[in-house]
Homo-oligomer: A and B are copies of this chain.
């Protein structure tokens, strides 16, 4: 497959020798990144505990090597040459490969060794400090470490692009092309839709019966069921592995070597199931990547928001839908005979869609409340980075916003401002991708459903192959990875319009109004 977006422009440009030389360097970098991915998987899933020290030395050597290779001045020279020549005609994929390579090179070379070293040192220290502060439920213990992160990230952003707002520079690491101005407007729209919906659900809604899904569930039986589901959704064991780890994740070394993990808790049937469908979505994106551009940055995922759109499309748009409940019900009844055998698919659909407006914890949130947790964090971290608020204001502002958006207030820092690990790693700009993913998932699913009129009947019968093929074609293959410089352009191409939060909002309003009998 060699789809060129603008066929008229396809040409073997005069600089093809330079492009070949650049490709070789980029492919070597990708090979080492793949090795790094394998090491990460191994550490979480296979490594004996006593190897932590030696693995640390290996990871450090590999990180140093990756930095050395990525900042190779020869890459800079090739990029300059190619950028001069690209105007003379080159296909869109090649142009995108050069654009993405240049973006990465600029970032890697902008950050000084000294700053990278200080960041690396602070990473371990800040994380340890956060662990202790959370144990003590005392934000003030963590505040100095967080202040230092803000300073370090401002320094980084100023080196990379002093002309852009600091938060926008950081955001670019997670969702290229996105700005805080656009996020402000998106999230204001989402907030304006969800806060009243949530208040309504709480005031007038009838929550579903979930008691019948509670109990103890053998984890081996859960694992066997979830394996079957992952394979049914399309996970390919020829190009990946399924294992169990403490924290579920999807990683690996290459699109042909995708390592997906899940976990199972005895006292929760839904957590393992949800996690499995979510990670399968990530894995299908990875396994579906177009190998024609293997090793070139144009083939990398189009940002973390887009990646999350694939996991959330499967987890929420598919996994929380009525057809999936019809598919799942006989399977869980067979695997867990203690479940009441007279329950219907409709009962299951309702039970898995409980909204928990009183939950304080993001990772336990449902699809209605989740975006509000994210908006709260986005508002705080962007204001913090901009300097509009100070670190010591965070606990108070956190609690105030929780009350305002979700109608609940944490009683401790551990249940509030200290609940997430992200800030301890200095990750500002990461949180928004969770909700961007949810919005894109709704928008992409809507487009897919138009092309797949039989989806509901097929999904209820356990046949998801057409949806997988549609995503492979439209998101993973033809509109390959980072072909477009922004998620908006990708969405425009695939769905006909840029990111449109109203699709998710409409979906949530109509779904939960019906479910809660409003």
Contacts and interface: CB of A to CB of B under 8 A. Distances in A.
A54 B34 contact: yes
A255 B48 CA distance: 11
Interface in A44-85: 46-51, 53-55, 57-58, 60-62, 64-65
A322 B64 CA distance: 53
A238 B49 contact: yes
Interface string A242-260: 0000000000011111000
Nearest to A54: B254
Nearest to A258: B48
Chain A at the B interface: SS class = helix
Contacts of A27: 57
B48 A257 contact: yes
Contacts of A47: 257
A100 interface: no
Interface stretch (A35-43, A109-117, A123-131, A182-190): A35-43
Contacts of A28: 61, 64
A240 interface: yes
Contact of A253 (B55, B60, B64): B55
A370 B60 CA distance: 44
Given A39-B38, A253-B51, A257-B51, A241 B58 contact: no
A35 B48 contact: no
Interface string A204-222: 0000000000000000000
A135 B142 CA distance: 67
Copies of this subunit: 2
A333 interface: no
B50 A239 contact: yes
Contacts of A60: 31
A48 B42 CA distance: 14
B241 A54 contact: no
Contact of A31 (B34, B58, B240): B58
A237 interface: yes
Contact of A46 (B46, B57, B294): B46
A46 B238 contact: no
Contacts of A336: none
A36 to B, nearest CB: 9
Contact of A48 (B51, B64, B240): B240
Indicate the size class of the contact surface on chain A.
35 or more
A106 to B, nearest CB: 24
B238 A55 contact: no
A28 to B, nearest CB: 5
Contacts of A53: 256
A49 B60 CA distance: 29
A407 to B, nearest CB: 47
B253 A50 contact: no
A516 interface: no
A32 B236 CA distance: 30
A229 to B, nearest CB: 19
Contact of A54 (B61, B64, B253): B253
Contacts of A253: 51, 54-55, 58
B62 A35 contact: yes
Contacts of A42: 38, 42
A437 to B, nearest CB: 26
Contacts of A48: 237-241, 256-257
Given A48-B238, A238-B48, A239-B50, A257 B35 contact: no
A55 B295 CA distance: 13
Given A31-B58, A46-B241, A51-B256, 10 more contacts: A28-B64, A31-B57, A31-B62, A32-B58, A32-B62, A35-B62, A47-B257, A50-B256, A57-B295, A58-B254
Interface of A: 27-28, 31-32, 34-35, 38-39, 42, 46-51, 53-55, 57-58, 60-62, 64-65, 236-241, 253-257, 294-295
The 5 closest A-B pairs by CB, nearest first: A51-B257, A54-B254, A31-B61, A50-B238, A50-B239
27 contacts: A31-B60, A31-B61, A32-B58, A34-B54, A35-B35, A35-B39, A35-B61, A35-B62, A38-B39, A38-B58, A46-B46, A48-B237, A48-B238, A48-B239, A48-B257, A49-B238, A50-B239, A50-B256, A50-B257, A51-B253, A54-B255, A54-B256, A54-B294, A55-B253, A55-B254, A55-B257, A65-B65
